[in-house]
């Protein structure tokens, strides 16, 4: 008997469309996988077992089954996006336990394409930090369950890396897709501003936060992205990038005082070497990051949280969240002007006029321990987050597309990763270049946690 656990979304959808397997069979296998492994991983806040099977049957009976791009594909949804009939807890005991009347637009698009939502995934409270833990559990890295899956889309990444689902929906306000993707050996794509509907929290962290896919292959990431963006442009993109791209390689941290460790530097340099060998114009070049980038990132990070916390009972928030929101309230008015973000775009635009793509390490160091970080002090959390993930925030501030691609193996045995950044509208170019890296240096798609079926 063929097992569909561990297969790609593209493979599953093709089999369902051709009626070689039913959506119920596919979903049931993945629900069994979740039941077997999630006590160890902590990916899900809520599993929709019964509802998912009913919805799988509904997909199987659709008249347009043969045309559905995600026919019968199980997906997980980050618990800050509305799923009809389920509460959205956003990782917080202060959030209302009220069922959503309608799907978020991105969830609706996935369902229209034939996907089946099997559950809502764990996040840190209000999706603030780069580790995922709190009152609903701790999301662990399936490659090493003593380590965090990352955050804030940590549960979504853990679910995909452990083959509980082939695809998951997350979002990224300061790296919240790319950080867990890097930790867990996945593709994580943060699109440019306005490409995929946002509608995250109260104002999308001033327009910095974007929804996007987590997947194990570039093909799957492209497929899910095309559904979320409601366009065939990405799906129709050529499987190879333009004949020659100008690729800048930078291993420098954007934040003063934060260093990138050797394994991540090595990954970026080796990826650059492979691309140069394919004929791309690759050279070392550092973007002109301003010295005020760190303080600007902190102001936007805390101010976005302060807005999201409006109307919540502060007594029910974790101490680190209360400090974060209290600091952020001081910056809300200045952040809303968008002045610093525009200055950053103006400063970096000439660099991207000279270079098609920027290649960087994905992280500065491996993810920290899976621990009760929500019970630790605010400053300790901020320092840990900043020291391990300084390379993602600039591209939320600019609103330009950025993605993480698995690359190589860390000394710990876990997955390495690099980051690709491009101009507005270059998602297709980034995906194509990522696909070239995938061919040149294939990665293990699923963590060896109980096998992949």
Q: What is the pLDDT of residues 390-435, one digit of tens each?
A: 999 999 999 999 999 999 999 999 999 999 999 999 999 999 999 9
Locus of tokens 């974007």: 210
Q: Is the pLDDT of residue 1 over 70?
A: no
% of residues, the chain, pLDDT over 70:
96
Q: What is the pLDDT of residues 172-221, one digit of tens each?
A: 999 999 999 999 999 999 999 999 999 999 999 999 999 999 999 999 99
Which residues are known catalytic residues? Answer: 78, 152, 176
Burial string for 14-52 (b: 16+ CB within 10 Å, else e) reads ebbbeeebbbbbbbbbbbebbeebbeebbbbbbbbeebb
Q: What is the CATH number of domain 9-440?
A: 3.90.1300.10
Extents of the domains making up the chain: 9-440
Q: Is the pLDDT of residue 449 over 90?
A: no
Locus of tokens 């710990």: 412
Distance, in Å, from the CA atom of 307 to the CA atom of 102, rounded to the nearest integer, reads 23
Q: Which residues pair with 404 in a beta bridge?
A: 188, 419
Q: Which residues pair with 246 in a beta bridge?
A: 281
Question: Mean pLDDT for the chain?
Answer: 96
pTM score over 0.95: yes
Residue pair 117/52 in contact by the 8 Å Cβ criterion: yes
Distance, in Å, from the CA atom of 184 to the CA atom of 159, rounded to the nearest integer, reads 10
């Amino acid at each position: 008997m063929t097992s569909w656990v561990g297969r790609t979304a593209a493979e599953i959808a093709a089999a369902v469309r051709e009626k070689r397997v039913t959506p119920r069979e596919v979903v049931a296998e993945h629900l069994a996988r979740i039941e077997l492994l999630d006590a160890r991983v902590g990916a899900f806040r809520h599993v929709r077992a019964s509802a998912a099977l009913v919805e799988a049957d509904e997909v199987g009976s659709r008249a347009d089954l043969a045309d559905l791009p995600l026919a019968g594909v199980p997906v997980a949804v980050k618990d800050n996006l509305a799923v009809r009939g389920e509460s959205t807890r956003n990782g917080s005991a202060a959030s209302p336990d009220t069922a959503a009347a309608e799907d978020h637009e991105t969830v609706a698009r996935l369902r229209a394409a034939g996907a089946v939502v099997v559950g809502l995934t764990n996040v840190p409270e209000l999706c603030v930090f780069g580790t995922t833990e709190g009152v609903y559990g701790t999301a662990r890295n399936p490659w090493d369950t003593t380590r965090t899956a990352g955050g804030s889309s940590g549960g979504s990444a853990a679910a995909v890396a452990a083959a509980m689902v082939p695809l998951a929906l997350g979002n990224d306000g300061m790296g919240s897709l790319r950080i867990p993707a890097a930790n867990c050996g996945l593709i994580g794509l943060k699109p440019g501003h306005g490409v995929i509907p946002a509608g995250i929290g109260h104002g999308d962290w001033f327009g910095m936060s974007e929804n996007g896919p987590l997947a194990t292959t570039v093909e799957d990431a492209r497929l899910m992205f095309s559904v979320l963006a409601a366009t065939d442009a990405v799906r129709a993109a050529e499987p190879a990038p333009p004949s020659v791209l100008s690729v800048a390689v930078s291993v420098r941290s954007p934040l003063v005082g934060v260093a990138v460790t050797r394994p991540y530097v090595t990954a970026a340099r080796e990826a650059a070497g492979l691309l140069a060998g394919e004929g791309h114009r690759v050279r070392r070049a550092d973007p002109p990051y301003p010295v005020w980038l760190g303080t600007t990132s902190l102001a936007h990070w805390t101010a976005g949280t302060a807005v999201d916390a409006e109307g919540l009972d502060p007594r029910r928030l974790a101490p680190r969240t209360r400090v974060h929101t209290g600091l952020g309230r001081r910056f809300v008015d200045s952040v809303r002007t968008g002045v610093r973000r525009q200055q950053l775009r103006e400063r970096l635009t000439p660099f991207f006029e000279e270079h098609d793509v920027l290649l960087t390490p994905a992280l500065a160091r491996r993810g920290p321990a899976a621990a009760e970080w929500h019970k630790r002090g605010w400053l300790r959390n901020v320092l840990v987050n900043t020291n391990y993930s300084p390379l993602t925030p600039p591209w939320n501030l600019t609103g330009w597309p950025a993605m993480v691609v698995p690359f190589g193996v860390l000394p710990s045995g876990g997955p390495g990763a690099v980051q690709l950044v491009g101009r507005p509208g270059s998602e297709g170019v980034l995906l194509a270049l990522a696909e070239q890296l995938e061919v040149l240096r294939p990665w293990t798609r699923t963590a060896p946690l109980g096998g992949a079926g």
